[in-house]
Amino acid sequence: MFHDIFLRKRGLISFLLVGVTLFFVFSSLWSSEVVSAESVTTIVVQKPVEEHGSVLSAARTEARAPETDTNLQFCSTPDLGIPDNNAAGVVDTIVVPEGGSILDLNVAITATHTWVGDLIFTLEHAETGTAVTLIDRIGIPATSYGCYLNNIYATLDDEALVWVENACPPTGGNYIPNSPLSSFDGEDLSGTWNIHVSDHVRGDAGRLAAWCLDAAAGTAPTISVEPTALSSVQPADVQLTSTLTITNSGDHDLTWFVEEAQAAASMPLPSPVQGAGTAVTPNGTTATLSHSTNFKMPLITNQTAAPDTMQLLVNDGSFENDPSDWNLASSNACYWIGNWHGVWGVPAYDGSMDYWGGGYCISDGVYYPNSSIVTQTVTIPTNTQYLGLKYLAYRPDDDDAVINDYAFAAINSSLVWSLDSTQANNTFPNWETERVDISAFAGQTITLTLGFISNVDGTADYTGNIRFDYIHLLDETTCDFPGDISWYSVSPNSGQIDPHNNSIVDIIFDSTGMDDGTYSSTLCVNSNDPANPVLQIPVTLTVEDAICVAPEPISHLAIAQNNGHAALNWDSVDGADFYEVWWGADDPYFTPGDDCSAAANCATTSNPHYIHQEGGLGDPQHNFTYVVRSVSDCGSAYGYSSISNRAAEFDFSIQPGS
């Protein structure tokens, strides 16, 4: 029996390597950094590799802990045998005497083992009880028996680009762990750390050679902003700049980026939605990503939704329940609520399950395009403004104007949102956010439907794909839905701040072409501060006609000798763009003359003084009444006084002009 299983295991993998056909086309989506199907299943072990502290060869792996460059490192080199086909496995322990709060944790592993798809690695922090699965039978469920190649030499790192379950084998470099190590963030690094390694299929043996904890610890980056709200009052067609100060009072670098909360997306369409097919249960058929089978590519880590004033998941809004609270109907035999991480290479947005619409269902080698819906009855709270959802869309070919495929959301059989899947509206591998205004349904009990309608037949090459997750209700605009607000911009919109330092950010309010009124938004400052990952800053722009106020009249006027010539001097006036100077009446004295625009002798100056060289008035020959007027776009004000051409200064009170 053992011999039969052993041979069957290797025979299946051999068939997969030489017989599988990859229908997925990578070149249009991924750069040269994408690992090809050949490179993820081939390793050259004859050439020693020492760059990271271990020597791999066909014969042995030297039990040296991998080198790291993180803040703190704690290693063990147990060289423990891993018992074959024994779920109890082995445990090795690292005791950390002290360390501080965990900001980021990586785990480096060196293990020798044939057929690494047999192995599960789990890390536990004994004092807190937190446990994370690092590696879980690489290659499963994409294949029945997992990765058949040998040895593990890898650093598990949440910030890596390649998921460890897609690496066959993971030898050299950093990989995203099966479950996020961020589960340990915020815990104290000190204590007992246990790594558990187990083998789950007979026929292969190996050893845990070495492993390390690589941790960044200390006071986390700590963000604060000043001011905590931004506003501007300005007329139309004006740009004004305010500043925002972002401060990092922590002991580690603060990385930040700014987003703007977008307006609601409301796209009601008039046509009703008709359910396709009947309810089904899993029956062993296989769902595929459009025309794709197994594929390997980078992916994003599981995301955490930004906080909202009110963010309420509908029943089973993350599709985690089994059985689900959603009613499923499909045009074929596939069941479309499930864990699609292994097929897509991208985890669910929240939890491990989500709903996949579109694609194909394979039965007896025939591709059947999928139309499916999920529905449930939902009571909408009275203060609800929006329906929020996360979606991940993919179409493997170019736009197709003929086939009418679309994804949708509907309330009571009326569409409230749709995505045209005849176009390559790809978001892959990123989850996108969508928000739909459903305030008209607040306080009602409604039927909520999500789905995908595929109008291709079995002979068509492709159809679109979409996954839905995290279906929730919102009461107002929040940072969960970033977008672009046209009436202000941010510069710079991202950066890094050293410990105990700050950065200045310009907020440019632009009222070009805007009508009078008040406009509101939210500035979302995202950062790696674990306590405050998103700060929400209210932003308000009020556009109104300028309130124009004429400058005050001058308050002091004097004559002084200036290089043998008489000169006028006066105090400057706030708000004055320039000053006008002219003679008053010659006789009688102390009588204001004509307005500057009509006077024969008139001069202008931007300075709070006048000498004869600046204009055509010349030196006074008699006692004159001189008029000096402060002027701006909003009006003018002037006073007058009698002055003399004597060399001494004479002050006279300024009288209002008529």
Q: In this structure, are 363 and 435 located in the same domain?
A: yes
Read off the CATH number of the domain in which 561 is found.
2.60.40
Q: Is residue 479 part of a domain?
A: no
Shared domain check, 466 and 511: no
Is the predicted pLDDT of residue 282 greater than 70, yes or no?
no
Of the candidate ranges 291-305, 318-332, 552-566, the one whose mean pLDDT is the lowest: 291-305
Pair 607, 461 in one domain: no
Asked if the model's pLDDT at residue 408 lies above 90, the reply is yes
Strand partners, 94: 193
At residue 249, the pLDDT reads: 93
Please indicate, yes or no, if residue 266 is contained in any of the structural domains.
no
Among residues of the chain, what percentage have pLDDT more than 70? Answer: 67
pLDDT interval class at 67 (50, 70, 90): very low
* Average pLDDT, integer, range 494-523: 93
Give the per-residue pLDDT at 641.
44
Tokens representing residue 464 in the block:
């679109």
What mean pLDDT do residues 269-293 have? Answer: 40
pLDDT at 185: 87
pLDDT of residue 332: 81
Q: Which domain CATH number covers 86?
A: 2.60.120.260
Pair 114, 256 in one domain = no
Long-range pairs for 486-494: beta carbons < 8 A, 24 or more residues apart: 486/510, 487/511, 487/514, 487/519, 487/521, 487/541, 488/260, 488/521, 488/539, 488/541, 490/258, 490/260, 490/523, 493/257, 493/258, 494/255, 494/256, 494/257, 494/258
The band of 227, judged by pLDDT with boundaries at 50, 70 and 90, is very high
Confidence grade of residue 145 (pLDDT, cut at 50, 70, 90) = confident
The total domain count for the chain is 4
C-alpha distances in angstroms, 292 versus 84, 121, 130, 339, 394? 35, 30, 37, 17, 11
Most confident of 44-48, 302-306, 473-477, 597-601: 473-477
More confident residue, 620 or 311: 311
Q: For the residues 347-372, what does the mean pLDDT come to? A: 83
Q: Indicate the pairing of strand 223-226 with strand 488-491.
A: unpaired
The CATH number assigned to the domain holding 386 equals 2.60.120.200
Asked if residue 273 is part of any domain, the answer here is no
Higher pLDDT, 385 or 470: 470
- Look at residue 265 and tell me if it is in a domain: no
274: confidence class by pLDDT, cuts 50, 70, 90: very low
Lowest mean pLDDT among 386-390, 513-517, 625-629: 625-629
- Give yes or no for residue 467 having a pLDDT over 70: yes
Question: Do 578 and 529 fall into the same domain?
Answer: no
Question: In the predicted model, is pLDDT for residue 275 greater than 70?
Answer: no
Is 65 in the same domain as 154?
A: yes
Residues written for the chain: 658
Q: Which residue has the tokens 């499930």?
A: 338
Q: Is 208 left (phi over 0), alpha (psi -120 to 50) or beta?
A: beta
Are 243 and 369 in a shared domain? no
- Whether omega for the bond prior to residue 66 falls within 30 degrees of 0, making it cis, is no
* Separation of alpha carbons 115 and 356, rounded Å: 32
Assess whether pLDDT exceeds 80 at residue 550.
Answer: no
Predicted pLDDT of residue 623: 52
Show the domain range for 647.
557-656
> What mean pLDDT do residues 288-292 have?
46
Lowest mean pLDDT across 30-44, 157-171, 418-432, 549-563: 30-44
| Residue 306 domain flag | yes
What are the structure tokens assigned to 567, written together? Answer: 């000169």
pTM: 0.41
Is 56 inside any structural domain? yes
Residues 72 and 195 in one domain: yes
Where is the domain boundary, 217, 250, 277? 217
Summarize the confidence of residues 436-460 as an average pLDDT: 84
* Parallel/antiparallel/unpaired status of strands 354-358 and 655-656: unpaired
Reported as a single tens digit per residue, the pLDDT across 91-136 is: 999 999 987 888 889 999 999 888 888 899 999 999 999 999 999 9
| Last-in-domain residue among 184, 202, 217 | 217
Query: Could you give the count of Cα atoms lying within 13 Å of 49 in the half-sphere of its Cβ?
Result: 18
Whether 212 and 229 share a structural domain: no
3-state secondary structure 619-637: CCCCCEEEEEEEEECCEEE
481 domain residue, yes or no: no
Give whichever of 358-362, 556-560, 601-605 has the largest mean pLDDT: 358-362
Across the chain, what does the average pLDDT equal?
Answer: 73
Residue 268 lies in a domain: no
Residue 643 and residue 534 share a domain: no
474, 500, 526 - which closes a domain: 474
Same domain, yes or no: 118 and 233: no
Of 314 and 262, the structure prediction assigns the larger pLDDT to 314
Tell me: do 385 and 302 sit in the same domain.
Answer: yes
For residue 434, what pLDDT is reported? Answer: 86
pLDDT at residue 328, as a whole number = 92
Going by pLDDT thresholds of 50, 70 and 90, the confidence category of residue 397 is: low
CATH no. for residue 234?
2.60.40.10
